[in-house]
Amino acid sequence: MEQKFDAIVVGGGPAGCACGYKLAKAGLQVLVAERGKFAGAKNMWGGAFFGPVLAELIPDFWQEAPIERCVARNRLSFLTEDSSLSVEFSTPKFGQPPYNGFIVLRSKFDRWLADKVQAAGAIVASRLQADDLLWDGNQVVGIKAGSDELPASVVIACDGVSSLLSQKAGLRGELKPHEVKQGVKEVLQFPRELLEQRFNLSGDEGIAWEFVGACSRGLPGGGFIYTNKESLSVGLVVQLNALAEKQVKANDLLEGFKQHPAVARFLEEGKLVEYSAHLIPVSGINMMPRLYTDGLLVAGDAAAFVVGTGIILEGANFAVASGIAAAEAVIKAKEKGDFSTSSLAHYQDLLEQSFVLKDLKTFEKAPHFLENQRIYTTYPELACNLAEGLFTSDGQPREKAWQLFRETTKGKISLWQMARDLVQGKGAI
């Protein structure tokens, strides 16, 4: 007799694994279908993962998970072509898991998480690609994988930003270039001692370093560096439509970023061991598809659950939270024996009550605001020029900071335009 699963989760990333783990722990028959050769093989992010939500699902996970480092310092740098101005924040609380972010490599972390899902009783099948949905009338009743048909009471689409299944179900259309950013990343290997000396780290301390300005050549986006145990994750995320309009390749921008004077010295002697590229949904609630239909839920990047404020780009936390919420909705539907649209609507109720949809609504205007080119050109240049004036002595009488500020901005931007940008920023981020 053909096996029918209670639930098939498509995608072995944080959303899919969180969902599969919660369902398996509740005693449901679960299949997690991962198209890569192992969970994490095709996944990418800059590096930082916020722990509290996952800690609710797997208490003290950091004691066994393949964590690279704990984010002890957050640094933000504004770049011109040859200078930089940085601000940094740290607090002793960052050393107390799971208060702040953990730096991880997805190829290791996702595989560990998938092993936890399997240990909980789910089947995790790698190299299994969901090509289509099975239908019974208007009800999704499983997936098609090649010539195989795998029936299930419900399917949870955690299949990433380009989610084929949510498209097949008519829950969303084609991605638009302005809705996504292209991320490119390299992992450079270093001896641990050299890495810690170069970044002034000790023990399991790590740094999350973000960059705005010349690294993206004025295009909406930014750069990042995350310190792993014995490597660095260095990369860029840039608006896809801007790359197309300017006919610029993200990889060319990355090479330029790596050669910037504020960055290059940290990368010296690094050995390239990994390169990856990925699309990231950045329009938030403005691009969010319908989240459920008869027999189907959508979670993680497939649901565009990513928040970007210009300083942070957070998605993994939302993925885990949405995976858990999807599982809770499925468990309730199983109890009722009803996987219809009206029953699965409980999923959206749970998301409305959590930070997921609240944060997406809070930062609803951020994507449009972050398309302002002055954020990546004018303001980094003004910040660096002002800092140069403040910290330079040319043997002449010093000017007050306000006068220096006025001279720095003269002919480049009006106070009225700055005030307007400030008001828009206040409403967006």
List the structure tokens of 55.
Answer: 């800690």
Cβ distance 181 to 243 under 8 Å?
Answer: no
Q: Which residues of the chain have pLDDT under 50?
A: 1
Q: Are 266 and 232 in contact (CB under 8 A)?
A: yes
pTM for this entry? 0.94
- pLDDT at residue 1 in the model: 36
Q: Is the peptide bond before 380 cis (omega within 30 degrees of 0)?
A: no
Please state, in angstroms and rounded to a whole number, the distance separating the CA atoms of residues 166 and 302. Answer: 8
Provide the token pair at 321. Answer: 């939270």
